[in-house]
A and B are shown apart, each in its own frame.
Chain A
Amino acid sequence: KNEVEQSPQNLTAQEGEFITINCSYSVGISALHWLQQHPGGGIVSLFMLSSGKKKHGRLIATINIQEKHSSLHITASHPRDSAVYICAVRADKLIFGTGTRLQVFP
């Protein structure tokens, strides 16, 4: 069993829909990252969380330390949000989830 599990693996949405991507982990962590990887491969760090909730534009990330669970929400999704979203937890090193491939259609 992977130490970091993401769901769903693939997600298709219509423009404007509300998107939720989930991440569960089984190890003790000091922080959790949400990353966005575009088709060209470049990675953007969206959030680093250790508790609670963070918001940036249309993106919201939450974490529940007791339940070892985090969610990434995208409100009013847009085709440019199409990317792979990766959850990574910081234990002694970063442990990555396998990613969620999101496609948003016009």
Chain B
Amino acid sequence: GAVVSQHPSRVICKSGTSVKIECRSLDFQATTMFWYRQFPKQSLMLMATSNEGSKATYEQGVEKDKFLINHASLTLSTLTVTSAHPEDSSFYICSARDSGTGGSQHFGDGTRLSIL
């Protein structure tokens, strides 16, 4: 079945570090990918919508200079948390919409980011 690979699964790093998270669709093309953030015991919050070959669309309150998104190909989107601080610690999940099968959406396993 369709698989979305998200890497890394866990990151622990010092404050001020920039962290890049990759999201790949392994057996389908995804014109659109989504980045979500999830706080403990809360629902997923959409951060931004990533469209291949164009600029990402950010949700209100999400700093685009803080969370850089690149969607350079139909199978890869990256989220870079720049100059990360402890308040950026969270669970980040990507999702990819299959361009070919009625728009079914598949999720990555998530990245747990801990900033010390």
Interface residues of A (CB under 8 A from B): 31, 33, 35, 40-45, 48, 86, 90, 93-94, 96-99
Contacts and interface: CB of A to CB of B under 8 A. Distances in A.
Given A93-B49, A94-B46, A98-B42, A41 B105 contact: no
Which of A45, A93, A98 has the most CB atoms of chain B within a 10 A radius of its CB? A45
B104 interface: yes
A42 B104 contact: no
Nearest to B34: A94
Interface in B85-109: 91, 93, 95, 102-109
Given A41-B110, A41-B112, A33 B44 contact: no
B106 A42 contact: no
B interface secondary structure, majority: strand
Nearest to B49: A93
Contacts of A90: 103
A interface secondary structure, majority: strand
A6 to B, nearest CB: 9
B46 A93 contact: yes
B54 interface: no
Nearest to A31: B103
A18 B72 CA distance: 46
A90 B93 CA distance: 17
A79 B21 CA distance: 32
A40 B104 contact: no
In the A-B complex, the 5 residue pairs with the smallest Cβ-Cβ separation, listed nearest first, are: A42-B109, A43-B107, A41-B110, A96-B43, A98-B43
Nearest to B106: A45
Given A86-B43, A94-B34, A48 B107 contact: no
